[in-house]
Chain A
Amino acid sequence: MQTQTLFGTDSDINVLMNKRKKIGLIWQVVFLFAITLAILFLLLLLLSVIDSTFGYVALRNEVEPSSLIEGKTLIKEFSRTELENAAKANLSSGILRRVESEKPLAQRSYHDLVSLLEQYVIKPKVLKTWGLWDSLTQTRTIEAYSLSENGSYLTFKSWINPQFFLADQSADPLHAGIRTALLGSLWIILITFLFAFPIGVGAAIYLQEYAHDNRINRLLQLNIFNLSAVPSIIYGLLGLAVFVRAMQSFTSGSMFSALTDSTANGRTILSGGLTLGLLVLPIIIINTQEALKAIPASLRMSSYGIGATQWQTIWYQVLPACGERILTGTILALSRALGETAPLVVIGASTFISVDPTGIFSKFTTLPIQIYQWSARPQGAYRNLAGAAIIALLILLMVMNSLAIYTRDKLSKKKRLEL
């Protein structure tokens, strides 16, 4: 059987081939391992956020419910009238007057009264918090901790809840929410869109439809690709120097005698929105160019053929044919702006405000900045809040992305120009 060839005997070749195949197999395992690792990272990322959003909280009341009404240790056991009476008896007159003027006690819901009493009378303080994993696996240790701390009790808390979306920023982690930040984020996105969308689409139309292949246009193209890779913090410095400082009278609104907040000093929603507008401009241009590239030349030619001018062709034929695609690209660019933190921190977005923004000249905070602030604090409860805020941010991003996918799918079903 043994035959001598140029490369040795048959068995030599077999040994060699097996070795080569084995190397191939080993590498394939390595590749699969890399894929698994990447997916694992994504899972860990999500799990670590979910972990801190739910879990046990050890609380201690400043005033026990039993001291309000004999024999009832939990506020949930109170009847409606008991709640009302307890509120009237125990709220300080100033708070009571304010609360009554907002909405009379008699008209408030049961749930409303409970949270009122909790906030002003019982005042539970967070002693310690646990993540979901610890809450499920180490229930004994947690219970032991609660027993060892005098007067403390455990509740299982979901840090993300309706109240969390509606409450404003508060120094007390149990009552802190993201309403101000959420509104700030939406305002910023609106300004970003209004500024970057027309300019971005316009620039892309020029580059794709009008520009000849000459030096200046090549430079424009190169420049746009370069801008899209500039670190976002640099845009923050640009915004700080230009919008906040140099154009302060414009961005704070004093130029139009529309000054909403004299302490804003140009660190307003307008400045933030314009800064992020500059940041997403190159992305919108690139995405729109891709959309325009996908339109076949035949469409333009037939339009010219019936005597349309170039702008008529673009306005009546090209843009309607790729409108959804441009919109998809823009939504994706805006979702990038929604998650940006660094530039807004650099231009000096307020870190602690509890007043809702009322217009483009208001001070603001955004969801990512809120997350940054809460994460940076050492106390445990703020980490839980940050986790809940991240979930809120991810939900918002998911909504935007689904919107983008929805428009893209609608396009591929409807358009005859499927490319």
Chain B
Amino acid sequence: MHERPIHPFGKRKRIHERIIETTLFLFAMLSILITVGIAFILIRESYLFFSDPAVRLLDFLTAKKWQPMIGLFGIRPLLNATLTTSIIAMAVGMPIGLFVAIYLSEYATDRSRGILKPTFEVLAGIPTIVYGYFALTFMTPLLRTIFGKANVEIYNTASAGLVIGILVLPMIATMAEDAISAVPKDLRLASYALGGTKIETTFKVVIPAALSGLSATFLLALSRAIGETMIVALAAGAGPKLTANPFEAAETITGYIVRISGGDVSYNSIDYNSIFALGLILFIITFTLNLTSRKISSLFHQEYD
């Protein structure tokens, strides 16, 4: 920066300016490298998994048992448990989160919003392992007291699902509130002018107008619930099981990955490869959900901006 440019109005950038720009560009490109790296690693190890003679792709997708010890690799029990916990989580998190968001954006005074929003930030900042502990020491005993110890196992997907619901609640509330507050005031005023009450305006005008933002929220929260690991690792139980009963123990995809990698697994074993195959499935599901969510919300930004 101490030398003078050759020509004061020259458009050519000085050489070290270019070096800096290129370096920063490479830093940004590292993020692409991460995505490519994830995809490459998952696909390569999965290829090794599926090329193992014990594994057949059709069985992988349809078979009802996952027991690597005796060579049974059917993803259905794991996927089923993942879906059970996620559905329970969304059933809890979505309505409560949505109601909280409506209250915050339409009803709350500035003062109560000033208290409530930091509360949700605190809730969102608590590590998931703490939620896992909560599921194990509070939710499960609570469920066992309500529904009877004979009906509810010590490890069960219901408890894990409920707590994941609490985990995604602040995220849903924050994103949904953003979506709802982005609806222009004109729409609300027009509805009032036609004689709509506040609640009618909210449900018949504001919510439909914010629908794309809310669906984006839903998809992102679902993706978060599917990928959640520590809560299910602690509370949902170890051992894959195909069951529709949420009070029984059943291992999810993420729970299985954590359990297998937590033990000392040797490289190039079928166990090692299997966690990458499951990781690939998980990545595809969550990646699709995230991408769709992003697409929807970018459409919605164009609508009102």
Contacts and interface: CB of A to CB of B under 8 A. Distances in A.
Interface of A: 20-21, 23-24, 27-28, 30-35, 37-39, 41-42, 44-45, 48-49, 52, 198-200, 202-203, 205-207, 210-211, 219-220, 222-227, 229-238, 240-242, 245, 278, 281-282, 285, 309-312, 335, 338-342, 345-348, 351, 368, 371-372, 375-376, 383, 386-387, 390, 393-394, 397, 401
Nearest to A205: B24
B74 interface: no
B228 interface: yes
A31 B99 contact: yes
A339 B197 contact: no
Contacts of B275: 237, 346
Interface residues of B, number: 85
B279 A27 contact: no
Contacts of A35: 99-100, 103, 116
B79 interface: no
Contacts of A397: 125-127
Nearest to A204: B28
Given A31-B102, A237-B279, A346 B31 contact: no
Contact of A375 (B95, B136, B169, B227): B136
B147 interface: no
Nearest to A237: B279
A372 B287 CA distance: 27
B217 to A, nearest CB: 12
Contacts of B102: 31
Given A45-B126, A210-B24, A241-B45, A282 B31 contact: yes
Contact of A38 (B100, B234, B257): B100
A390 B38 contact: no
A102 to B, nearest CB: 33
A195 to B, nearest CB: 11
A223 B31 contact: yes
A368 B127 contact: yes
Contact of A206 (B16, B27, B128): B27
B290 A339 contact: no
B197 A20 contact: yes
B299 to A, nearest CB: 14
Given A30-B99, A38-B100, A281 B286 contact: no
B264 interface: yes
Contacts, number: 252
Contacts of A235: 38
Contacts of B24: 202-203, 205-206, 210
Contacts of A225: 290, 294
Interface centre among A27, A38, A282 (most CB of B within 10 A): A38
B230 A342 contact: yes
Contacts of B258: 233, 342, 345-346
A227 B36 CA distance: 11
Contact of B34 (A27, A49, A198, A238): A238
Interface string B90-127: 00000110011011000100000000100110110111
B254 interface: yes
B134 A220 contact: no
Q: Which 5 A-B pairs have the closest CB atoms?
A: A231-B227, A339-B127, A34-B99, A206-B24, A202-B27
A383 to B, nearest CB: 6
A202 to B, nearest CB: 4
Nearest to A349: B262
20 contacts: A31-B99, A31-B107, A38-B119, A45-B134, A45-B166, A222-B294, A225-B290, A230-B286, A230-B287, A231-B226, A233-B227, A233-B282, A236-B257, A237-B276, A310-B13, A341-B229, A342-B233, A346-B257, A375-B133, A397-B125
A81 B273 CA distance: 62
B201 to A, nearest CB: 10
Given A21-B197, A222-B294, A345-B262, 7 more contacts: A38-B123, A42-B123, A198-B27, A230-B286, A231-B227, A342-B258, A393-B130
Contacts of B202: 27
